[in-house]
Amino acid sequence: MFWRRHADSDSRRWTSGIVLKMANALAYALFLGIHVGFIYDNIYNPSKGKVTYITPAPWAFLVWPVLHLLFLGTIVYQFTNKGHQIIVDGISWRFIVLMLSNALFVYLWASREYLLALLVTSLMLWMASSITEIVREKQEPSKTSFRDWILLHVPFSLYHGWVSVLNMLSWFAAFGVDASIHHAGTGTKVCVFLALFHLHLSAAGHAFHSPPGDIAILTYLWAVFVQQKVWNSEFVHDVALVFAVLASIWVFAVTMVKIRKARRARRDEERVPLLGGDYVVVKRRAGTFLRVVW
């Protein structure tokens, strides 16, 4: 009888919201397929296209396979009870919009339709921000497992930070000069300074509220610093170095503050008499860890 009730519960968990779950899986398949297919056919190379003065080194785009793998875990996780609550009931149709708009962005970038790509990245940025906020609201750090964190929080936060980069790249691709043809004038230098300044502040903001989105932006800033050696733009090279160092300091400082707060909270918790034995201690410590990375 117990086995039958457990089987019925599992069946309801898998079939509840099955249409949306299948739609999510298909949208992810398109998102993955258009990346792999276009790169395989050499139609789309994310590190190529119009070369601007904020184009990073090619290795910055290795974030894509990381996102592909993380989102695959998210797709599988939606069939669990906790995943259903957040992905199906919370995020809902937004994940489909995000995946479809990303696939459209790849197509437009490969077609060198940079203005349209900019509009699509603006939609992607809005969707990513909305989803990240939903995940944060529906997950309580003290009740969040490492599995929840790695399969829900990490993918969307990392993607949010990366889309901030793609949006800035699209601005320069749509309206900026081609770095392989034109030298950086005063207007270009001012725009580069403001763009990198904005991204370094975004990295700091992610460090406070939604890591590891800060890692995506940090990687990009260092990649710009490396790449601008190629185009011999000393100004952009130096500015990228300054903001990459500042952003790294921000992220390190925020992380250390969170670790100190977590240690203080753990000491306070250990002073409180426990009624649940060792299990409660382990659970509290896991919650403390997740509050650090949160």
Could you tell me the pTM of the whole model?
Answer: 0.83
Tell me the per-residue pLDDT of 32-73, one tens digit each, with 9 for 90 and over: 998 887 765 555 565 567 888 999 988 898 899 999 999 999
**DSSP states of 210-254:** STTHHHHHHHHHHHHHHHTTTTT-HHHHHHHHHHHHHHHHHHHHH
Tell me the per-residue pLDDT of 102-159, one tens digit each, with 9 for 90 and over: 999 998 988 889 999 999 999 999 999 999 999 888 766 556 677 888 899 899 999 9
DSSP type of residue 151? I
Model pLDDT, residue 292:
47
- Do the beta carbons of residue 200 and residue 243 sit within 8 Å? yes
How far is residue 148's CA from residue 262's CA, in Å, rounded to a whole number? 19
Lowest mean pLDDT among 20-29, 41-50, 84-93, 237-246: 41-50
Residue ranges per structural domain of the chain:
2-293
Model pLDDT, residue 196:
95
Lowest mean pLDDT among 122-131, 213-222, 248-257: 248-257
Average pLDDT, the chain: 81
Task: Compute CA 12 distance to the chain's CA centroid, rounded to the nearest angstrom.
Answer: 31
How far is residue 90's CA from residue 78's CA, in Å, rounded to a whole number? 11
Q: What is the CA radius of gyration of the chain?
A: 22
The proportion of the chain whose per-residue pLDDT surpasses 90, expressed as a percent, equals 45
